[in-house]
Amino acid sequence: MQVTFQDIKKTGINNKPIACITAYTAPMAQIADPLVDIILVGDSLGMTIYGFDSTIPVTIDMMIAHGEAVVRYAKHAMVVVDMSYNTYEHSKEQALENAKKIMEKTKCAAVKLEGGVELAGTIKYLVDNGIPVMGHIGLLPQSVEKMGGYKIQGRNDEGAKKVMNDALAVEKAGAFSIVIEGTIEPVARDITNALKIPTIGIGASPACDGQILVLDDVIGTFTAFSPKFSKRFCDVKPIINAAIAQYAADVKARVFPSEDNCFYPK
């Protein structure tokens, strides 16, 4: 019997919330794969990998290259790839063409796109054409300018109603799961209770059916800014720093390479 995401909504994964994390490269996918349920190749790679100050400059070719690398090493977790800015908003046909391209080239399990009511028709079109879709509502990084900055959503009645309507529309359109980002706890809780599909929160409280964080926030490699909803579980920067400093010092002192690292005539 096939387990659906609606079953997972009721039971969790082994009665526990769904654990998701982003990864963008093969080595990080290899580490994360046995530990989490879903790996998202997020367009946050624009900031964490490419050094842009938003996700807007990210291209579909970047998403495909990183999606391919992650899928190559993910043997257990479900891999979802983000549709980057300007690849799905203009028409449902544009969205389908690009979603197919991402799925075919990367062999990922699903795509994710940002938006609610206004994108429901597009999501339905993708799902009707065999593309599994993860929705993304609440704070939408690709629309931060339109939203007036990185603002927590659902703080007043109108805002709360909007996020709820977005969630209901995305579910009705056929998404198998929804990321709720940067949304106040009571609204995320109401949405989670109202939906039949699992909600994955990032800054949306433990009321969600699962959680997602950006890998570089978790390990301390992205420090340009650190949202309140994120948490650094370790800080690998000083370890990497010490290793590179020691390497450079050994080169300058002619300690590296040593005899062990050299080749000689047999």
| Catalytic residue IDs | 181
Question: Can you read off the two tokens belonging to residue 87?
Answer: 């690849």
In order of 54, 57, 82, the CA distances from 86 in angstroms are: 14, 10, 12
Cβ proximity to ligand KIV: between 174 and 210 the closer is 210
Site for ligand KIV, residues 211 to 250, rule: CB under 6 A? 212, 214
What secondary structure does DSSP assign to 67-121, as a single string?
Answer: HHHHHHH-SSSEEEEEPPTTSSSS-HHHHHHHHHHHHHHH--SEEEEEBSGGGHH
Cβ proximity to ligand KIV: between 137 and 262 the closer is: 137
How far is the C-alpha of 76 from the C-alpha of 32, rounded, in Å? Answer: 10
Ramachandran angles phi, psi of 163, nearest 5°:
-65, -40
Q: Rounded to the nearest 5°, which phi and psi values hold at 39?
A: -105, 125
* Closest C-alpha among 202, 104, 113 to residue 153: 202
Task: Count the site residues for ligand KIV by CB under 6 A.
Answer: 12
Residue among 62 and 120 whose Cβ is closer to ligand KIV: 62
Nearer to ligand KIV by C-beta: 233 or 247? Answer: 233
> Does position 82 bind ligand KIV by CB under 6 A?
yes
CB of 39 to ligand KIV, least distance (A): 11
Residue 7, SS3 per DSSP = helix
- The residue range among 42-50, 102-110, 226-234, 241-249 that interacts with ligand KIV, by the rule CB under 6 A, is 42-50
Residues 1-40 that bind ligand KIV (CB under 6 A): 22, 40
Our measurement of the distance from residue 258's CA atom to the centroid of its chain's CA atoms, rounded to an integer in Å, reads 43
- Told to check if 209 binds ligand KIV by CB under 6 A, we report no
Q: Is 44 in the site for ligand KIV (CB under 6 A)?
A: yes
Please report, as residue ranges, which positions from 157 to 186 form the binding site for ligand KIV (by CB under 6 A). 179, 181
* Residue closest to ligand KIV, measured at CB: 42
Interface ranges with ligand KIV (CB under 6 A):
22, 40, 42-44, 82, 136, 179, 181, 202, 212, 214
